[in-house]
């Protein structure tokens, strides 16, 4: 199945679940990722987002819904699918959508965002999600040819404060500008009510990760509330 820009309409107002475990964690295993993803689909996820080439491959085999793939290399600066080489590897692993750093920061391979997106489009069937950290990033990413815009890096790229919950102000700003590409709310959506608020702020679709798929964090939230 190839996902086309028109096919994205099926994701409108839906929930995407990000299934990620971090280096050194017990659940950091591609098979586990694919099982968590399949469980999310049973619960109603319209698409899933997974990190790592093997995770993309295993998850493609385990679910029928679109798979958003990324490759995190490092943990600061430009680290979400930072170069064209990373992006093409994610596409070749089977991702329907490749999520890449969509900020205006310098990329490790020196390519512009536009060159990167053009390269992905030229050499694969994958759509491109630009993980942005600000309104200016989002506008630039649309100009550069991104198929989807995400607020993934709001609060992480230095342009915006790290809000406790989702950055609803940024969502409303991007949605209000009518940039013409589907807007994905992603980042710190921790409750069903916040997912609803993100849609109400103008998001086309909502990504939830930690609050659904990261037991260590969720356990810590409960424990923290009980300790006080
Ligand atoms: C900033 C960064 O590295 N974000 C990553 C992007 O893939 C993931 O670590 C997040 O879990 C994902 O964006 C979903 O967000 P949340 O887990 O807050 O629902």
- Is residue 18 lining ligand 1, measured as CB closer than 6 Å? yes
Determine the distance separating the centroid of ligand 1 and the alpha carbon of 3, expressed in angstroms: 23
pLDDT of residue 110: 98
Atom of ligand 1 nearest to the CA of 155: 1
pLDDT of residue 1: 84
Atom of ligand 1 nearest to the CA of 18: 14
Question: Which residues lie below 8 Å from residue 164, measured CB to CB, with a gap of 6+?
Answer: 188
Tens-digit pLDDT string for the chain (228 aa) = 899 999 999 999 999 999 999 999 999 999 999 999 999 999 999 999 999 999 999 999 999 999 999 999 999 999 999 999 999 999 999 999 999 999 999 999 999 999 999 999 999 999 999 999 999 999 999 999 999 999 999 999 999 999 999 999 999 999 999 999 999 999 999 999 999 999 999 999 999 999 999 999 999 999 999 997
- Is residue 186 lining ligand 1, measured as CB closer than 6 Å? yes
Q: What angle do CA 144, 124, 179 make, to 5 degrees?
A: 25
Cβ burial of 133 (10 Å; 0-12, 13-18, 19+) is buried
Determine the distance separating the centroid of ligand 1 and the alpha carbon of 155, expressed in angstroms: 11
What pTM value is reported for the model?
Answer: 0.98
Tokens in use for 221?
């939230």
pLDDT of residue 228: 78
**From atom 11 of ligand 1, which residue's Cα is the shortest distance away?**
209
Residues 93, 69: contact at Cβ < 8 Å?
A: yes
CATH of domain 9-227: 3.20.20.70
- Is residue 103 lining ligand 1, measured as CB closer than 6 Å? no
End-to-end CA distance of the chain: 50
Atom of ligand 1 nearest to the CA of 213: 17
Q: How far apart are CA 138 and CA 148, in angstroms?
A: 9
- Is residue 213 lining ligand 1, measured as CB closer than 6 Å? no
**From atom 1 of ligand 1, which residue's Cα is the shortest distance away?**
153
Query: How do the domains of the chain map onto residue ranges?
Result: 9-227
- Is residue 157 lining ligand 1, measured as CB closer than 6 Å? no
Q: Ligand 1, from 187, 194, 206: best to mutate by most atoms within 8 Å of Cβ? A: 187
The question of ipTM being above 0.90 is answered as yes
- Is residue 188 lining ligand 1, measured as CB closer than 6 Å? yes
């Amino acid at each position: 199945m190839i996902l086309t820009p028109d096919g994205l309409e099926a994701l409108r107002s839906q929930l995407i679940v990000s299934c990620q475990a971090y280096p050194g964690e017990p659940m950091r295993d591609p098979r586990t990722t694919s099982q968590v993803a399949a469980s999310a689909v049973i619960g109603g996820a319209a698409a899933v987002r997974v990190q790592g080439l093997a995770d993309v491959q295993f998850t493609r085999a385990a679910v029928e819904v679109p798979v958003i793939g990324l490759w995190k290399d490092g943990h600061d600066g430009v680290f979400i699918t930072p170069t064209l080489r990373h992006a093409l590897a994610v596409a070749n692993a089977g991702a329907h959508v490749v999520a890449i750093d969509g900020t205006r920061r310098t990329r490790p391979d020196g390519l512009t965002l536009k060159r990167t997106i053009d390269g992905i489009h030229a050499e694969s069937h994958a759509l491109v999600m630009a993980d942005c950290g600000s309104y200016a990033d989002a506008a630039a990413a649309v100009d550069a040819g991104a198929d989807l815009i995400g607020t993934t890096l709001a609060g992480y790229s230095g342009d915006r404060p790290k809000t406790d919950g989702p950055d609803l102000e940024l969502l409303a700003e991007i949605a209000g500008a009518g940039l013409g590409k589907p807007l994905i709310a992603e980042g710190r959506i921790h409750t069903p009510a916040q997912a609803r608020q993100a849609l109400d702020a103008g998001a086309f679709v909502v990504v939830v990760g930690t609050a659904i798929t990261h037991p260590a964090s969720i356990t810590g939230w409960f424990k923290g509330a009980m300790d006080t």
